[in-house]
Amino acid sequence: MGKSEEALARLHALDRESYHLEKAIAVLQWDEETYLPSRGVEERSEQLALLEEIAHRRLTEPETGRLLAGLGSTFDNPRGDEGLADIERDFLRVLRRKYDRAVQLPADFVAAAARAEGLSQPAWAQARRNNDFAAFLPHLKIMIDFARKKAEFWGFGGGARYDGLLDIYEPGMSAAEIDAVFAPLRERLVSLLEKIRRCSPPDTGFLNQQFDTEKQARFNRRLMDYLGFDQDRGRLDASAHPFTTTLGPHDVRITTRYFPDNLLSGVFSVIHESGHAFYETGFAPELRGTCLADGASMAFHESQSRFWENVVGRSRPFWEGFFPVLQETFPGQLDGVSAESFCRAVNEVKPSLIRVDADEVSYALHIILRFELEKRLISGELEAEKLPAVWREYSREYLGVESETDADGVLQDVHWSMGSFGYFPSYALGNLYGLQIRRKIESDLPDFDDAVSRGKFDTLRDWLDSHIYCRGCRLEPAELLRKITGEKLSVIPFLEYIEKKYAELYGI
Amino acid sequence: MGKSEEALARLHALDRESYHLEKAIAVLQWDEETYLPSRGVEERSEQLALLEEIAHRRLTEPETGRLLAGLGSTFDNPRGDEGLADIERDFLRVLRRKYDRAVQLPADFVAAAARAEGLSQPAWAQARRNNDFAAFLPHLKIMIDFARKKAEFWGFGGGARYDGLLDIYEPGMSAAEIDAVFAPLRERLVSLLEKIRRCSPPDTGFLNQQFDTEKQARFNRRLMDYLGFDQDRGRLDASAHPFTTTLGPHDVRITTRYFPDNLLSGVFSVIHESGHAFYETGFAPELRGTCLADGASMAFHESQSRFWENVVGRSRPFWEGFFPVLQETFPGQLDGVSAESFCRAVNEVKPSLIRVDADEVSYALHIILRFELEKRLISGELEAEKLPAVWREYSREYLGVESETDADGVLQDVHWSMGSFGYFPSYALGNLYGLQIRRKIESDLPDFDDAVSRGKFDTLRDWLDSHIYCRGCRLEPAELLRKITGEKLSVIPFLEYIEKKYAELYGI
């Protein structure tokens, strides 16, 4: 073995240990959200803190830095004499990125930020319960301050400071690029919402019933099977907030939640999280157990969950095929309802205050609002004190509704209390990616709708596997998008899809 | 802080990290046995191997050795000037024992043993399936060899080599002491079995029904509540083999298994494992999160599980109180049955080939058989080749039955394939401890039976907590037994209990 081969092998071994530690942490977190007895919480956070410390130490081993530096020329000169395989170049790029991000933050800064987040999150939860923005404000200011410093440690080239944060979730993306797509998106969604507001709403009365939660759970397991979720490689459980977690290449778990008076919440969470899970189980075998076994970005991940949830799961062909199973699960409760009227009901547009309850049309407007505000918080243009008022103003302008309380307004989301600035755009970018991809799928798979109506998802899954999932994070999102669609980020496919779909549904 | 106080504080910090790592490992193992998707197994063992390596490194930090050595005089001279609190002396003793055991085995020996076990276990499982002792024999020989070497590394004073292994599970116990109690135990149990064989068996026909497993699960959860298992500090799940695991001071989980045609298996596993769980949740608050938060020994642990399962759970007062709930759970299925006849049925004595299915009378004979054989395997008196024949011979002599296959004989237990020699006696010693303790309980709590019949277990739990559980492993088993009962190990209380109970049940 040559010297760089040896170094590479050692880096793979170190990376593999990091991977295992991350997954072990994920097991403890999954258990915390699903089955942990109530009094075990405190001990669990101590266990997690220790494992996270060990994982951080493993990731930031000085040895990794030395080996990466030693392989620098190989890395910088991909066609160099070393003849490094493409996949190894990608591996080194992603590992270096991960390593750099971790070591660029000084240890005392990381510790101080973790302590501040530890105080901020419960303060936010309490402030939301008490509708008391003032109580959260000092924590929020500290969180903004840490985020600004983080951006500085990481650097943001010549761009906006916000770009330094955005890059964690969406490598290579800038606020300016987002501005360019969010502006037309906002304009046309606001105008579509206005049109819809003048139409008569679909009948949703049949959803106002009690749906037994055990039957919901049984239905959702059938739904997973129907979608092709391999239950030998994952599972479905219940938790307070739905999520997907990867505990290993063949162990990707999703959760949902059950409300007797809200059938749709559990069902669409299962489809949404299954989209994430398909991505996570689709990485090529040679990426498994390495830092390349990850989605290309948060938005790419969200593109898949929202694609499955909305484009597949809220389509008429889908319920033409699967509505009979729902009827059968709840005998007597949905007898007079047709697949078509069910599909209309699950696509009801009703702008409301809460992002997580938003319909497909108004959802992106919730995101744009948050993006506009956090961008200005990080640049320093907007003072945190003014957030509640500005939130209300934007909410009225974008959504036509205005919260009476901060609990239903600026305090509704957990993200800022955790210091996660730059995350929100991913949700809406995911919509855009998803519909750009759909256009390509439609041309590659002309009988897409027909397959969906027959519950035949293998061709679609194969297509997504080979075009997206199998690549892991070998490509940055913009490059991946170009590889798949030949295009750069565009708002057009999403707007055309949504305007066409809702014009039909609402008879506009 | 003085220098030894500093050293002590540092040892506590190191011990606490070991504790957390052990519990994190236990979470991954629990998940493996309960909810892990089938294809996740391979990855899980890699995660576990890494965590175990980290935990072993943490436990054997040379720093620990140096600190322990530095505190040596404090430790050896408990009334020394340092004025170390009793609990700290116990802490140092137990930590030193743990540390010594770990460092006494050379690293390459540990690695070689782990590799050999990794091959031996699946070889055993396959040999059992194929009833092919010859295929397992080479692995068994290697396991015996490793066990003999282990005993040597750990030392066994002037006693038998076997004592070096026994000491892991039952600190301070020797094969000679066990011989002294197992001899009369065997003799009187064999004679009791003979008498029972001449009596007419109880009616067990009503157990030959199908019992819905969901109803069984519901009943078992009520049973946990009834026993006083705090479900905010633990949980019940299903797994292939019932077990108890401690994931934290307030997170002790048990499992059971469900067969539609075997109601009793699930029920008595729940009571048995609850006994283990009561022990694990009963450690005094000041022991939590330290190496003192453990049972005094395997046999002491088993004394509790078997006490709850047999002395409480197979008693007439218990079913007088709780049988109506069982009847209510399976409407129409147990209508004509009385609590008394149910109790007779669950105490049916029927010597059989398989240890885990054995009744209370023949159980210890299964153990004595294994003890006799493994003692001679380790001393070298018995060659592994001869095991199947000797097994059959002993089985006929002790139990009056003889297996036709090795799968139902020498291959039935997993222990030897894992290199666990010296473990088996714990099961029977647990019976003896348990009945010695019961005698003390009867004199302290004269209305014991009455309380059991009314489902009032708090006084009993309080007694067990304050006499046994709260002490963790601060005392070695013999010392703890003397502290509780004023006696040393004795076979008399168990024999008197079992002879009286079965004379009544069988009208001898």
Query: Is residue A74 over pLDDT 60?
Result: no
Helix/strand number for chain B, H first, E second: 21, 3
Residue of A12, A15, A47 best to disrupt the B interface, most CBs of B under 10 A: A47
β-bridge partners, B255: B237
The predicted pLDDT at position A135 comes to: 97
Q: Which residues of chain A have a Cβ shorter than 8 Å from any chain B Cβ?
A: 17, 20-21, 23-24, 27-28, 31, 35-40, 42-44, 46-47, 50-51, 54, 230-235, 237, 247-251, 253, 289
Mode of pairing for the β-strands spanning B251-256 and B244-248:
antiparallel
| Whole-angstrom distance, CA of residue B39 vs CA of residue B487 | 52
DSSP H or E stretch at residue B146? helix B133-154
Are A248 and B23 in contact (CB < 8 Å)? no
d(CA A488, CA A492): 11
What is the mean predicted confidence (pLDDT) over A401-424? 94
Is the pLDDT at A449 greater than 80, yes or no? yes
DSSP H or E segment with residue B236: strand B234-238
Query: Taking CB atoms and an 8 Å limit, are B248 and A38 in contact across chains?
Result: no
pLDDT value, residue B3: 82
As a whole number of angstroms, the distance between CA B262 and CA B316 comes to 20
Hey, which residues of B are catalytic here?
Answer: 273
Contact A251 B35 (CB under 8 A): no
Contacts of B35 in chain A (CB under 8 A): 235, 237
Q: B251 vs A20: CB contact, 8 Å cut-off?
A: no
Query: Which phi and psi (to 5°) does residue B253 adopt?
Result: -115, 140
Count CB-CB contacts under 10 A for residue A8: 21
d(CA A269, CA A272): 5
Residue in B35, B39, B251 nearest the CB of A37: B251
With beta carbons less than 8 A apart as the criterion, state whether B173 and B164 touch: no
Residue A430 to residue A303: CA distance in whole angstroms: 4
Q: Of A419, A366, A436, give the one whose Cα is nearest residue A397.
A: A366
Write out the residues of chain B at the interface with chain A, using a CB-CB cutoff of 8 A.
17, 20-21, 23-24, 27-28, 31, 35-40, 42-44, 46-47, 50-51, 54, 231-235, 237, 247-251, 253, 289
Residues of A within 8 A of B31 (CB-CB) are 27, 31
Q: What is the pLDDT of residue A81?
A: 43
Strand ranges for A199-348 from DSSP E = 234-238, 244-248, 251-256
Name the token pair of A493. 């496919």
| Secondary structure of residue B455 in the 3-state scheme | coil
Contact between residue B384 and residue B329 where contact means Cβ atoms under 8 Å apart = no
CB A184 within 8 A of CB A432: no
Cα torsion A211, A214, A219, A224 to 10°: value is 130
Candidate from A42, A47, A248 with C-beta closest to B24? A47
String of DSSP letters for A239-282: -SS--EEEEETTEEEEEE--BTTBHHHHHHHHHHHHHHHHHHH-
Q: Name the minimum distance, in Å, from the CA of A20 to any CA of chain B.
A: 5
pLDDT at residue A85, as a whole number: 82
How does residue A2 score in pLDDT terms, banded at 50, 70 and 90?
confident
Residue in the block written with tokens 């957030």: A387
- The overall average pLDDT reported for chain A is 95
Question: CA-nearest residue of chain A to B248?
Answer: A43
Q: Cβ of B43 and A248 within 8 Å?
A: yes
Helix (H, G, I), strand (E, B) or coil at B240: coil
Give the single-character DSSP code of A499: H
Structure tokens given for B151: 């005993």
How large is the average pLDDT for residues A433-442? 97
Contacts of A46 in chain B (CB under 8 A): 20
The C-alpha atoms of residue B271 and residue A435 are separated, in whole angstroms, by: 56
Is the CB of A43 less than 8 angstroms away from the CB of B231? no
Contact B249/A46, CB-based, under 8 Å?
no
Amino acid present at A298: M
State the nearest Cα–Cα gap between A51 and chain B, in angstroms: 8
Separation CA B378–CA B154 (nearest Å):
14
Contact of A494 with A189, CB cutoff 8 Å = no
Give SS3 for B252. Answer: strand
Asked if the Cβ–Cβ distance from A40 to B247 is below 8 Å, we say yes
State the Cα–Cα distance between residues B484 and B437, nearest whole angstrom. 7
Phi, psi (rounded to 5 degrees) for B101: -55, -40
Which residue do the tokens 């106080």 mark? B5
- Judging contacts by C-beta atoms under 8 Å, the chain B residues touching residue A231 are 37
φ and ψ at residue A247, rounded to 5 degrees: -105, 0
Contact A47 B233 (CB under 8 A): no
Q: How far is B307 from chain A (nearest CA, A)?
A: 26
Q: Which residue has the tokens 């090529």?
A: A284
CA dist., res. A254 & res. A243, Å (int): 6
Q: Is A428 exposed, middle or buried (0-12, 13-18, 19+ CB in 10 A)?
A: buried
* 8 A C-beta contact, residue A275 and residue A303: no
Question: What CATH class has B150-508?
Answer: mainly alpha
Rounded to a whole number, what is the distance in Å from the CA of A351 to chain B's nearest CA?
A: 40
A-chain CB neighbours of B23 within 8 Å are 43, 47
- How far A47 CA sits from the closest chain B CA (Å)? 5
- 3-class DSSP state of B391: helix
Per-residue pLDDT, B157:
86
Cβ neighbours of B54 in A, within 8 Å: 54
Q: Give me the mean pLDDT over the A246-262 stretch.
A: 97
Q: Please answer yes or no on whether A23 and B38 come within 8 Å at the CB atom.
A: no
Q: Determine, for residues A35 and B235 on separate chains, whether the beta-carbon distance falls below 8 Å.
A: yes
On chain B, the residues whose CB falls within 8 A of the CB of A251 are: 36-37, 39-40, 43-44
Catalytic residues of A: 273
Beta-carbon pairs below 8 A across chains A and B: 96
pLDDT of residue B193: 96
Q: Model pTM?
A: 0.94
Of A47, A230, A289, the CB nearest to B23: A47
A58 to chain B: which residues are within 8 Å by CB? none
Distance of CA B156 to the CA centre of its chain: 23
Tell me the average confidence (pLDDT) per consecutive run of 10 residues in chain B, 508 residues long: 87 97 97 95 92 94 95 57 77 96 92 90 94 97 97 92 96 96 98 96 96 97 97 96 96 97 96 98 97 98 98 97 98 96 97 92 97 97 97 95 93 95 97 98 95 96 98 97 97 98 95
Question: CB within 8 A of A324, min separation 6: which ones?
Answer: A339
Among candidates B28, B37, B234 on the partner chain, residue whose Cβ is nearest the Cβ of A234: B37
- How far is the C-alpha of B355 from the C-alpha of B367, rounded, in Å? 8
Helix H segments across A72-212? 72-76, 86-104, 107-129, 133-154, 161-169, 175-197
Residue A359 and residue A353: Cα distance in Å, rounded? 11
Q: Which of B28, B37, B289 sits opposite A24 (nearest CB)?
A: B28
Which residue in B22, B34, B47, B57 has the most chain A C-beta atoms within 10 A of its own C-beta, making it the best mutation to test that interface? B47
Q: For the range A212-221, what are the long-range contacts, defined as Cβ-Cβ under 8 Å and sequence gap of 24 or more?
A: A212/A260, A212/A330, A213/A258, A213/A259, A213/A260, A215/A329, A215/A330, A216/A258, A216/A263, A216/A266, A216/A267, A217/A258, A218/A329, A219/A267, A219/A325, A219/A326, A219/A329, A220/A256, A220/A266, A220/A267, A220/A270
Q: Do B40 and A247 make contact, defined as CB atoms within 8 angstroms?
A: yes
Test B31 with A31 for CB contact under 8 angstroms: yes
Q: Which residue of A has its CA nearest to B54?
A: A54
The reply to whether residue A37 touches residue B249, judged by beta carbons under 8 angstroms, is: no
- CB burial string B1-35: b at 16+ within 10 A, e below: eeebeebbeebbebbebbbbbbbbbbbbbbbbbbb
Q: From B49, which residue of chain A is nearest by alpha-carbon distance?
A: A20
The candidate with the shortest Cα–Cα distance to B363, out of B309, B319, B286, B441, is B309
* DSSP 3-state of A21: helix
To which H or E segment does residue B256 belong? strand B251-256
Residue A80's pLDDT band, with cuts at 50, 70 and 90, is: very low
A205 by Cβ neighbours in 10 Å (0-12 / 13-18 / 19+) ranks as exposed
pLDDT of residue A504: 95
Q: Which two tokens stand for residue A426?
A: 């991913």
Whether the per-residue pLDDT at A84 is higher than 80: the answer is no
Contact, B101 vs B168, CB < 8 A?
yes
Nearest to A251 among B23, B40, B51 (CB): B40
Residue ranges, comma separated, of all CATH 1.10.1370.30 domains in chain B are 150-508
Q: What residues of A are in contact with residue B20 (Cβ under 8 Å)? A: 46-47, 50
Categorise residue A327: left if φ over 0, alpha if ψ from -120 to 50, beta otherwise.
alpha
Chain B CB contacts of A247 below 8 Å: 40, 43
Determine the residue among B29, B46, B281 to mutate to test chain A binding: the one whose Cβ has the most chain A Cβ atoms within 10 Å: B46
Task: Please give the Cα distance from A469 to A467 (Å, whole number).
Answer: 7
How far is the C-alpha of A311 from the C-alpha of A263, rounded, in Å?
Answer: 19
Average pLDDT over residues A363-381: 97
SS (H, E, C) A58-112: HHCCHHHHHHHHHCHHHHHCCCCCCCCCHHHHHHHHHHHHHHHHHHHCCHHHHHH
* Res A144: pLDDT: 98
Q: Are B491 and B312 in contact (CB under 8 A)?
A: no
